[in-house]
Amino acid sequence: MRKSIFLLAVLVLVTTPALAQVKSVAQYIEQVKALANRVDVKAANDYIEHNHESILREWLSITEINAPSGQEQQRAKYVEGLLRKYHLDDIHYDSTGNLIAVRKGAGGGPVIVFDAHLDTVFQPGLQIKAIIRDGKVYAPGIGDDTRNIEALLATIRALNDAKIKTKGDLVFVFTVQEETTMNGARAFVHENKGKIDQYIALDGGYEGFTYAGIGINWYRHHFIGPGGHTRSQTPPYSASLPLARAIDRIYQLKVPTRPSSNLNIGMLGGSEVVNAKASDAWFTVDLRSTSNEVIADLERQIQIILNEEAARVGMKVKTDIIGASPAALIPGHRESYLVRISEAVHRVMGFDPPIGNAGSNNSSAALREGISSISTGAGPCDGAHSLAENCEIEPLYKGAGVE
Ligand SMILES: [Zn+2]
């Protein structure tokens, strides 16, 4: 039997009351297995099984419509055209440009949102042509996130074909601007807060899933000094000196691996010419952690280093915050209904799923609004955000079907 993970999760989710006592993973595994054997669930899996070719063609067609962040309209229109054929209860765009489709339930079940993002990281005007070779398909954007758009479309068709009526509403959201600001998902969860029970972002991943988002802070630190000609009297030095000393010391800070944390200094700059001392020497810091306390602590230590190194040469420090998104955490979420049931679904499908807390996608937007959320994906892919991006074809059906 082909297990289609997506569908199973849908069914499990919608047949269990949201507020019921959370059971053990082992208990959910039994429940998922029983569901997988239901005649209508098998029929839905059969639909995926019998439609490999059309699912593949549709996946490629959507991929070939490039959709840079903020310019998703053409691709959205194409997806909308498909959704219009599925007898859904509501199809509309919200004010941010997200395409939303609702498949109403019979009533009495939780509202589940499934999100896949429309946008790509590729520049406007890029001509995309998918190439199939050795069981893989090559095209920019094929995996991130078009495979998951197609997984949602195929899942809706499979549910319809098998005449499966869920209890709760299923809301399919094709989001915009995930790759840049997550503005699409942010606006959607903000507007619909209180109306969503669970939020499943399909983006990346395949074997496992994430249940929390990593915090990401970006800074640009400046040392401001007098500057001057190379031959002007020293000290004072070029502002590049405290910069170099500070970078060296920052890289000696202890960055914990548990909770998962990272620190990177990726950009720097100084004088515009060779024969001048820098009056403004700057560098960036990309600070990440699944713990907001770790971020705050490293931020404090970095500030001390900057102040000390500036004082040593009689200069000033200025810090610009380029971006700040806190870690997306819900206390106890690892042991929540959604996370345990997701683990059970993955296990029934034959995975030993890695379950992570360092996601960085639309799931974080939902978690920050206090909505139970995971992120996972429908197929194994490689080379995301590059022109060499590719996906294995066959497991898509497994992914499309069941998760
Ligand atoms: Zn993505």
Q: How far is the CA of 148 from the centre of ligand 1 (A)?
A: 9
Ligand 1 center to 143 CA (angstroms): 8
Q: What are phi and psi of 268, to 5 degrees?
A: -150, 160
pLDDT digits (tens, 9 = 90+) for 295-330: 999 999 999 999 999 999 999 999 999 999 999 999
Distance 22 CA to ligand 1 centre (A): 30
For 58-90, write each residue's pLDDT tens digit: 999 999 999 999 999 999 999 999 999 999 999
| Cα-to-centroid distance, 364 and ligand 1 (Å) | 13
- Ligand 1 centre from 201 Cα, in Å? 9
Q: How far is the CA of 204 from the centre of ligand 1 (A)?
A: 6
Q: Which whole number is the average pLDDT over 42-53?
A: 91
Predicted TM-score (pTM) of the model is: 0.87
Tokens for 103, please give them.
């498949």
The overall average pLDDT reported for the chain is 92
Write the pLDDT tens digit of every residue in 337-392: 999 999 999 999 889 999 999 998 999 999 999 999 999 987 789 998 999 999 99
**Tokens 């490629």, residue?**
60
Ligand 1 centroid distance, CA of 380 (Å): 13
**Tell me, what's the pLDDT at 143?**
93
Per-residue 3-state assignment (H helix, E strand, C coil) for the chain: CCCCHHHHHHHHHHHCCCCCCCCCHHHHHHHHHHHHCCHHHHHHHHHHHHCHHHHHHHHHHHHCCCCECCCCHHHHHHHHHHHHHHCCCEEEECCCCCEEEEECCCCCCCCEEEEEECCECCCCCCCCCCEEECCEEECCCHHHHHHHHHHHHHHHHHHHHCCCCCCCCEEEEEECCCCCCCHHHHHHHHHHCCCCCEEEEECCCCCCEECCECEEEEEEEEEECCCEECCCCCCCCCCHHHHHHHHHHHCCCCCCCCCCEEEECCCEECCCCCCEECCEEEEEEEEEECCHHHHHHHHHHHHHHHHHHHHHCCCEEEEEEEEEECCECCCCHHHCHHHHHHHHHHHHCCCCCCEECCECCHHHHHHHCCCEEEEECCCCEECCCCCCCEEECCHHHHHHHHC
Query: What pLDDT does 13 receive?
Result: 66
Distance 317 CA to ligand 1 centre (A): 36
In degrees, rounded to 5, the angle at the alpha carbon of residue 368 between the alpha carbons of residues 8 and 352 is 35
Measured distance CA(354)–CA(334) in Å, rounded: 13
* 119 CA to centre of ligand 1 in angstroms: 8
**Beta partners for 324?**
217
CA 67 to ligand 1 centroid distance, Å: 12
Give which of 390, 351, 392 is closest to 3, Cα–Cα: 351
What confidence category does residue 399 fall into, taking pLDDT thresholds of 50, 70 and 90?
very low
CA distance linking residue 79 with residue 7, whole number of Å: 20
Packing angle of the helix pair 52-63, 148-161 (nearest 10 deg) = 140
* pLDDT tens-digit readout, 90-138: 999 999 999 999 999 999 889 999 999 999 999 999 999 999 999 999 9
Interval 168-184: pLDDT, tens: 999 999 999 999 989 99
Asked whether the predicted pLDDT for residue 19 surpasses 70, the reply is: no
Please give the pLDDT value at position 12.
Answer: 66
At 273, the pLDDT band (50, 70, 90 cuts) reads: very high
Which pLDDT tens digit goes with each residue over 25-34?
999 999 989 9
What is the whole-number distance in angstroms between the Cα of residue 270 and the centre of ligand 1?
A: 34
- pLDDT at residue 402 in the model: 34
Q: Is the pLDDT of residue 162 over 90?
A: yes
Q: What separation in Å is there between the alpha carbon of 26 and the centre of ligand 1? A: 31
